[in-house]
Structure 1
Amino acid sequence: MRPSRQKTGSRWSNQTRLATVLRSLLGLLALVTCWTAPALPAELRPVRFVMPNGLTVLFLEQHALPIVEAHALVRVGSAQDSPDKAGLANLVSSLLDEGTMTLTSAQIAEQIEFVGGSIGARATEDYTTATVRTLKKDVDLGLSLLADILQRPSFPKHEFERVRSELIGQVISEKDEPGTLAMKAFNQVVFTGHPYRWPVTGSEETLPKISHQDVLTFHSQHYFPNQTILSIVGDLSHDEAASLATKYFGAWKRGAASSPKLPKPHSLERAAVKLIDKELTQSSIVIGHVGVSRSNPDYYAVSVMNQILGSGGFGSRLMDNIRDKQGLAYGVMSLFDARLVPGPFYISLQTRTEATNQAIAGVLHELRAMREAPVSDQELADAKAYLMGSFALRLDTTSKLAQTLGLVEFHNLGLDYFTHYPQWIERVTKEDVLRVAKQYLDPQRVALIVVGDQGKAKVRLETKP
């Protein structure tokens, strides 16, 4: 997944920027953080409606600041890329704000910076999002730009060549990043034969094969209102939001969805090891397998279990064992990347080369321990308290709220999600944690990736029961 490219008008002249800096100062100060007065998740009351052209609109009033944020989530991502042209969905998203039928890239940048706002787009494995943020007084401009880049991108040939070259350079530079190399290799092993195996950004081999026509065709086949979720959060009334959505997106023509249903990835039949030799003083290790989907009913029990295992920072078992007791790594973490279909579960860390096998053995020990005995009452209480207590912090900006609204709709979680999430976490028992550990952790069939000096590391994998 690549970071969002937020356009703030960096191309226009210094003279123009100086002439408008005082005008946009207030907007910039407000939009830097987009902090909104914290509300209890149960108090959030989003509204949902579907427009005649099939566009799903979610709206949430937030009046703490005069800010409006809109996120358009299009149901297409890198999983729709063909293997020989991996990176196409990401390239399309990167070009959305590089010119439309009526505006050049520079003009888009000028207009959004003039009001102290931002606009950008990014692709993930499952979807693409285009976002805009402005003060309330500039909401018409913001939504008109968002509508324009989604519905009428021109994909100028010179911008296509430039952005594609930049992405190729980014991919090449990642060869010097051991952690990135390890994760790419991990996905290739775990998701063999599945679309999740290739990077969102594509590869050095596939990006040059993507033509300008490929970009045009991809957009024409996937970008439709009935494939899009529009989340609007901010200082508007429901009537204002509905009117704006109709004004700027009502004429968008419905289309026929062309994306096949994403298959469920298969688990590994046996443990697999991939070693990448590089002259380094440390080994970068990734170990794991296929995880869970976001719609899996066990997601909440898995979240609690993983909080105890390795996502709980200094309080997790992995940190206690690998860092505190053995001193093998500065940090170690585990993640269930829950997607439309089961995404990866992995544990990642770096350790000194000579301690590579000791660190791997420590990780496998903790995986087996999670499956063999119930967690303690204190571990369970701490994990649930953190997940419930931090939930509001994931909703404390207009940006986070808009993003979460889109994902709630995308994964069909229901608008009562904000009320029920803490309840679902609270209901998790020690028995649930042990059950999901046995079901979704499999130390016998992991993929192990090690990037480092293989002559000194002498990696071995012992997957004893």
Structure 2
Amino acid sequence: MSGATMRMKMFASVAAIAAIVFAATPSHALDIRKMTLSNGATLLVSEQHQLPMVTVMIEFDAGTRRDAKGKEGLAELTARCLSQGTKELTAPEFDQKVDFMGSSVGVSAGRDYSTAGMTTLKKYQGETLGLLAGILTEPGLRDDDIERKRAEQVAEIKAAEEQPGYTADVEFTKDLFGDTPYGHPGAGYSDSVAKLTNDDVRGFYHDYYKPGGAIIAVAGDVNADEIKASLEKSLAGLSGSVTPQAEPPPITVAPGLNVKLIDRNVMQANIIMGSGGVERSNPDFYRLKVMNYILGGGGFSSRLVKVVRSAHGLAYSVDSGFEPGKFQGAFIVSLQTKNQSSNEAIDLILQQLREIQEKPVSDAELDSAKKFLIGSFPLGLERQSAIASFMVQIEFYGLGLDYADQYPKLIGSVSKDEVLAVAKKYLHPDSMIVVAVANQADAKIKTAQLEKAADAPSAQ
């Protein structure tokens, strides 16, 4: 299964459970208090006293989009290395302290930002926060640890490169985004990571792990004023801000189907096709969620699954999705099919893209999509870590503290005319990138035949 498929996979079978959970979840369950620390970080606190546990997440403007050209994978490597202890505690000593309390402490790098986080029992809150603060204010970043984590990252990338889905995902990303912040895999390339130096890691930490503009989200059995005071003290060693990153130019895809064929001795072709998408702040985001659920994001209820898999038996998995971010993201359709059925499957997908642009969806499709999207929303807020992550996202993308209340209304108000309008505006079946990792001798993907279906250029 490709990386894109795993990111976008959704199963309609949980809809009934989701509806029950939503009905039982009070709208005030996510009362959020917003404050600002003296170092410039924004603090969001949701007091959740049901369990004696505490989760803290700190977002830094240190995501993989910050990787410089030739240093792809540096943000990821830095995050891994920050979890390797403090100046006083070696990696084994640090892990031993964390394990003794049954806590978790670590740093991870995402595309838009990196997250330093902890989850702990209430009684170990102070000690665990001290360890988290330690790897942020006085990280060890020892040569041996950096070299070990670099070797691990290179090995993981080389293993992933053997997977056809990963290869398709990486090639599609490079072709769509080019030399822009989103144009490389988050972990980097095996050769780029192998060249990263210990000073590169230390430099990235000093440049990007700064509190000014950072977002701290706390969920759990806490008092907002008390946790604010604790964070002020624990993070006193951090200072400074990060200069905002320039927004890249809009994505453009040449007219026609821009096909890249990669030959592998595989039983099934892994195909990713798509075009430019939207940024998360786009006001059409909610209309697109509804439209895409009907098209290919709704699991077995989606048109792509019904047509490509169920009616024609051409694919075990096929789905579509928008991947919005701080900057413009991608629209992707991904599938696995027998090599010999690649051309037919691609043609059916293009037909479905055009069909949803040409006439309104049915009342039943619209109603089903909205019920699922509204009903499943609370499932993402069942755990403290999910609540903390949710708070980081609503602040980072400027969604508003009342987003949990507003989301059902935003989805519920989408009309058939709006679904049709966003399909026409944001789907580009006549200007797409197609990456196919397949046994090309069996697949016989006919690029000329595919391009013939794209004789009406559409602007992106």
TM-score, length of structure 1 as denominator length: 0.90
Any conservation in 2 of the 1:40–1:392 contact (CA below 8 Å)?
A: no
Partner Cα distance (2:216, 2:181) in 1: 26
**Which amino acid letter does the alignment assign opposite residue 437 of structure 1?**
A
| TM-superposition CA deviations, 1:207-245 (whole Å, max 9, x none) | 122111111111111111113111000011222222222
| TM-superposition CA deviations, 1:433-454 (whole Å, max 9, x none) | 1111111100011100000111
| TM-superposition CA deviations, 1:312-338 (whole Å, max 9, x none) | 010000110011100011121111111
Partner Cα distance (2:182, 2:407) in 1: 28
Q: Which residue of 1 aligns with 2:8?
A: none
SS in 2 for 1:296: coil
Partner Cα distance (2:400, 2:369) in 1: 24
38-47 vs 75-84, greater mean Cα deviation? 38-47
Any conservation in 1 of the 2:272–2:436 contact (CA below 8 Å)?
A: yes
Q: Which residue of 2 aligns with 1:400?
A: 386
2:247 matched to 1:262? yes
Partner Cα distance (1:205, 1:253) in 2: 33
**Which amino acid letter does the alignment assign opposite residue 269 of structure 1?**
A
| TM-superposition CA deviations, 1:366-397 (whole Å, max 9, x none) | 11111111110110000000000001101110
Any conservation in 1 of the 2:254–2:432 contact (CA below 8 Å)?
A: no
SS in 2 for 1:404: helix
Q: Which residue of 1 aligns with 2:125?
A: 139
SS in 2 for 1:187: helix
Q: CA deviation at 1:130?
A: 1.2
Any conservation in 1 of the 2:38–2:232 contact (CA below 8 Å)?
A: no
119-128 vs 85-94, greater mean Cα deviation? 119-128
Q: Which residue of 2 aligns with 1:34?
A: none
Q: CA deviation at 1:40?
A: 3.2
Partner Cα distance (2:26, 2:364) in 1: 25
Cα 1:41–1:335 shift into 2, 3 Å: farther
2:159 matched to 1:173? yes
Partner Cα distance (2:79, 2:275) in 1: 29
Q: CA deviation at 1:259?
A: 4.7
Any conservation in 1 of the 2:64–2:75 contact (CA below 8 Å)?
A: yes
Q: Which residue of 1 aligns with 2:332?
A: 346
Q: Which residue of 1 aligns with 2:59?
A: 73
2:366 matched to 1:380? yes
Q: Which residue of 2 aligns with 1:17?
A: none
Q: Which residue of 2 aligns with 1:59?
A: 45
Partner Cα distance (2:362, 2:153) in 1: 47
Cα 1:41–1:111 shift into 2, 3 Å: farther
**Which amino acid letter does the alignment assign opposite residue 309 of structure 1?**
L
Partner Cα distance (2:64, 2:247) in 1: 11
2:99 matched to 1:113? yes
Partner Cα distance (2:222, 2:99) in 1: 22
Partner Cα distance (1:254, 1:457) in 2: 56
Partner residue of 1:419 out of 381, 387, 405: 405
Q: CA deviation at 1:42?
A: 4.6
Q: Which residue of 1 aligns with 2:346?
A: 360
How many pairs are equivalent? 431
SS in 1 for 2:229: helix
State, as a whole percentage, how many aligned pairs show the same letter: 38
Partner Cα distance (2:25, 2:106) in 1: 27
SS in 2 for 1:196: coil
Partner Cα distance (2:192, 2:397) in 1: 30
Q: Which residue of 2 aligns with 1:30?
A: none
2:315 matched to 1:313? no
Partner Cα distance (1:114, 1:59) in 2: 27
Q: Unpaired runs of 5+ in structure 2?
A: 4-23
**Which amino acid letter does the alignment assign opposite residue 92 of structure 1?**
T
SS in 1 for 2:191: coil
Partner Cα distance (2:249, 2:79) in 1: 25
Any conservation in 2 of the 1:275–1:454 contact (CA below 8 Å)?
A: yes
Q: Which residue of 1 aligns with 2:170?
A: 184
Q: Unpaired runs of 5+ in structure 1?
A: 3-37
Partner Cα distance (1:108, 1:366) in 2: 53
Partner Cα distance (2:111, 2:226) in 1: 33
